Homo-oligomer: A and B are copies of this chain.
């Protein structure tokens, strides 16, 4: 009945959790395929599965997932047959893909003890997965496959209600090298020196000078990244300021960008950013 077992990259909770195995499940947990809410580890009796003590953030599994949340590191999710969801295998284990830890918090469980909770959102890595939409589409279109209509209707309604309302204002992506740039600058913004304190350390964002993906299409590498606080990241992405090839700050910010001796910024990309925001 242990809810999940966290395997740190290096065997501890200091660098985020590499993978979790879902098995069993608490009453308030749910698994919508692309979105999972799950309860942390610890505090339960191994033989009865009952919660008999508080869960803690110092538990390596919980600490690791909280670090994954703060750093934006993906977690590999594996579903076991005993995990209560329609995405679980009939026996053994299946790989569910990479998930982002988009929220973590604590609350008092039905047992009266403190539990640590996590919300995970699918972010890729499993080409064979079926989305809830695909499953539901099949069930609605093909009555021969519809084994339990009422339950599925209920699931569908539940899913609609559970989905957060509103449209996306900003998506901040985290990448392999984004983490490296943050460590190089010890999470201090290259514009204002701010390092955002969190419960598990410091927070900064890796800002791509020339954006990833279409149509800008640059690679993720150190020479295309800046370490910025969220305020200066928003301003940089929106072109409120730019950085000249001599590292002078232009626009709504004055002064000079702080640049570490090991950080060889691609000046063509600074020029590209200036060009796309009208600074040339």
Contact = CB atoms under 8 A, between A and B. Distances in A.
A238 B172 contact: no
Interface stretch (A6-14, A44-52, A144-152, A226-234): A226-234
Given A199-B238, A238-B70, A277-B106, A172 B168 contact: yes
Number of copies of chain A assembled together = 2
Contact of A212 (B166, B171, B220, B231): B166
24 contacts: A28-B215, A70-B238, A71-B169, A72-B167, A72-B168, A98-B167, A106-B275, A117-B215, A165-B175, A165-B213, A165-B220, A166-B176, A166-B178, A168-B174, A169-B178, A170-B171, A171-B171, A171-B172, A194-B231, A196-B234, A196-B235, A197-B235, A198-B240, A231-B231
Contacts of A164: 173, 211-214
Given A69-B238, A73-B167, 11 more contacts: A30-B214, A37-B214, A72-B170, A98-B167, A100-B168, A100-B169, A105-B239, A105-B277, A162-B213, A166-B176, A169-B172
Interface of A: 28, 30, 35, 37, 69-74, 98, 100, 102-103, 105-107, 117, 119, 121, 123-124, 134, 137, 161-176, 178, 194, 196-199, 203, 205, 211-215, 217, 220, 229-231, 233-235, 237-240, 252, 275-278
